[in-house]
Amino acid sequence: MAYRAPVDDMMFTMRQVAGLEEGIAAGHYADLADGAAEALLSEAAKFAENRLAPINRNGDQHGAKLADGHVTTSPGWREAYGQWIEGGWNAVTASPDHGGMGLPHLINAACTEMWNSANMAFALCPLLGFGAVDAVEAHASDALKKIYLDKMVSGEWTSTMNLTEPSAGSDLNALRTRAERHPDGSYRIFGSKIFITYGEHDMTDNIVHLVLARLPDAPAGTRGISLFLVPKFLVNADGSLGARNDVHCAGVEHKLGIHGSPTCTMVYGDKGGAIGWLVGQENKGLACMFTMMNSARLSVGLQGVALSERATQHALAYARERKQGRAPDSTTQGMDPIVHHPDVKRMLLTMRAMTDASRAICYATAGALDRSHRLTDAAAKKAAAERNALLTPVAKAFSTDIGNEVTSIGVQVHGGMGFVEETGAAQFMRDARIAGIYEGTNGIQAIDLVTRKLPLSGGQTVKDEIASIRESIEALRGSNAPALAEMAAPLGEAADALARATDYMLGALGAAPADALAGAAPYLRLFGIARGGSFLADIARAAHKSGESDPANAARIASARFFARNIAPGARGLELAVTEGASSVNVADAMIGA
């Protein structure tokens, strides 16, 4: 089943939940006016469908291979990467000062979804590059920007993010990679990093590594970490490539999924020290890295959406073809396509509705990010930045959890054929699995949401979000369309559950932090369900207005209605897990040997 980018649904979501129309009217999305957004997405769709999707399977089957310190990517990938740069796709959001198009994050969110639906292992390389550009642009010296940024923006040189070490994963306090000051103002880096995505490959001439390391006199813990830019090849004054730097790939992991993406062990300083330059200030490296990680967290959330979308398209096509049994309302003599069985319908609608909800959350997060950069009024800018901060962990963790569930349901829809590799459904499930783990595990995202984001502006940011959820639901109540009006009650109950769980969390944070942490994951899920359901309601209202005779609009309403009736009721159970479940978690140490 070929991938078809759902450009109309993407546009619809951008308009109804991410503020595209309002932004065009207000001027901060002037660059997306007059059909510019549709035109760009249509071009991106062609590249995703025709160039990236066809090499997805061979990336899975061949994988990236290491020999003599060199990594070879799968057949056709190097050429596709060349076309990626030529098309300008690496430079959508970057500043025009460095050759970028300077377009909004919202448009890049839709593009990111497409790249990852088509070929997640390929798309992961530029995904990290976007974050690296943000970090270098925000924190590096002008001299470093002059040498590196244009080529990082164009994609001529790719970038990596080097945090993880064997004893420093979620917790960077234990980070051991060393940096030493050199008299010429540069630094020498020594140590090993593991799990470095595209740490080595053959798609470009140079690779720019962003590396966290510790200076000899640095304070202990995360307050003593600095960020360094370490190129694979040093760069001469005229911009040409010079000597090979002392950084090497010592291994490539064998993984469950994303085989086309080389996950590398990187060794720095084996032969006297890798030459690096400081980005930002000494000992302030983690803050710089967070610039990169925040951008990457939303993008990883979009990977969840992307794989959900791809798996849903795939499962739908299979279910329309595969015939087994007779459906309850069958009028034919023989077997019916399985799409007519109520249980298969339930699976397919779950896939569609969960995908739509996670897309809405991710695009709304991107919209808030744009407003935080593009608005001029200081108070509105701050409110947008806080909304972005609140929604980012939900976008990352909810969408990637959904990605795992939806791709797994996709295998189920295929029956036994889902479990064998032939249909491709299994690859989506394997590829999706990592997205809940990297860029801060989903458990860490839930902790971030509860401990850092709920307290923003004294709890007002989350209260404003809940008020906005309620506004969407109130708009359903007066509707004369029964399908819309019927959603108000279950979505309203989900909003009430979120409001009560939020009050509980804000109280528990001060009084019983272990209880707040125990309930963080179900709380994040509850947040995603209440927010996602109300976004689908906004989409359904707009679809009703523009005419249910259009099958795409009828499908949007059906998706929202299914969500309200079948998924939103789970909110009450999640609320109880948050408000009543903590002691059963925290007193069970004997059971798990903690």
Query: Which residues, at least 6 apart from 9, have a Cβ–Cβ distance to it below 8 Å?
Result: 356, 359, 552, 556
Nearest by Cα to 202 from 89, 54, 69, 60: 69
**Residues 15 and 542 sit within 8 Å (Cβ to Cβ):** yes
| Least distance to ligand FAD, CB of residue 162, Å | 5
In sequence order, the β-bridge partners of residue 66 are 71
**Residue 14 vs 179, nearer CB to ligand FAD:** 179
**Using CA atoms, how far apart are residues 68 and 85, in angstroms rounded to an integer?**
27
* Residue (14 or 292) nearer to ligand FAD, CB: 292
End-to-end CA distance of the chain: 47
What is the amino acid identity at position 101?
M
CB nearer to ligand FAD: pick between 87 and 169: 169
Residue 215 contacts residue 232 (beta carbons within 8 Å):
no
Residue closer to ligand FAD (CB basis): 169 or 581 = 169
Q: Is the dihedral of CA 104, 105, 109, 112 positive or negative?
A: positive
* Whether 275 contacts 232, CB under 8 Å: no
Extract the tokens encoding 281. 């200030």
Nearer to ligand FAD, 44 or 252 (CB): 252
Residue 368: CB minimum distance to ligand FAD, A:
24
**Contact call for residues 307 and 435 (beta carbons, < 8 A):** yes
Nearer to ligand FAD (CB atom), residue 192 or residue 479? 192
Q: What angle do CA 306, 308, 314 make, to 5 degrees?
A: 105
Residue 190 or 198 with smaller CB distance to ligand FAD: 198
Element (H, E) at 84: helix 77-86
**Minimum distance of ligand FAD from residue 581's CB (angstroms):** 16
Q: What is the largest CA-CA distance in the chain?
A: 85
* Total Cβ atoms within 10 A of residue 422: 10
Least distance (Å) between residue 97 CB and ligand FAD: 27
Adjacent-strand bridge partners of 159: 208
Report the residue number, 175 or 499, with the smaller CB distance to ligand FAD: 175
Q: How far is the CB of 580 from ligand FAD (least distance, A)?
A: 21
Q: Minimal distance in Å, beta carbon 124 to ligand FAD?
A: 8
Structure tokens at 174: 């234990």
CB 297 within 8 A of CB 440: yes
Q: Output the residue with the shortest Cβ distance to ligand FAD.
A: 169
- Which chain residues interact with ligand FAD by CB under 6 A? 160-164, 169-171, 195-197, 255, 263, 434, 437-438, 441, 443-444, 447
> For residues 579, 405, 115 and 233, what is the CA-based torsion angle, rounded to 10 degrees?
80
Cα–Cα distance for residue pair 443/431, rounded to 1 Å: 19
Active centre residues (catalytic)? 439
Of 218 and 437, the one with the shorter C-beta distance to ligand FAD is 437
Residue 354 half-sphere exposure toward CB, CA atoms < 13 A: 29
For β-strands 157-162 and 206-213, DSSP reports them as parallel
Which amino acid belongs to residue 503? D
Angle (deg, nearest 10), helices 551-562 and 342-374: 100
The token duo for 499 is 């409001």
Whole-number Å distance between alpha carbons of 156 and 196? 19
Rounded distance, CA 505 to CA 516, Å?
6
At its nearest, how many Å lie between ligand FAD and the CB of residue 586? Answer: 13
CA distance 70 to 556: 48
Task: Tell me the closest approach of the beta carbon of residue 194 to ligand FAD, in angstroms.
Answer: 7
Sign of CA dihedral 414, 418, 422, 423: positive
Among residues 167 and 332, whose Cβ is nearest to ligand FAD? 167
Smallest distance from the beta carbon of 160 to ligand FAD, in angstroms? 6
Cβ atoms within 10 Å of 532's Cβ, excluding its own: 30
Q: Is 508 helix (H, G, I), strand (E, B) or coil?
A: helix
Q: How far is the CB of 74 from ligand FAD (least distance, A)?
A: 16
What is the smallest separation between the CB atom of 583 and ligand FAD, expressed in angstroms?
Answer: 18
3-state secondary structure of 402: helix
Give whichever of 426 and 434 is closer to ligand FAD, judged by the CB atom: 434
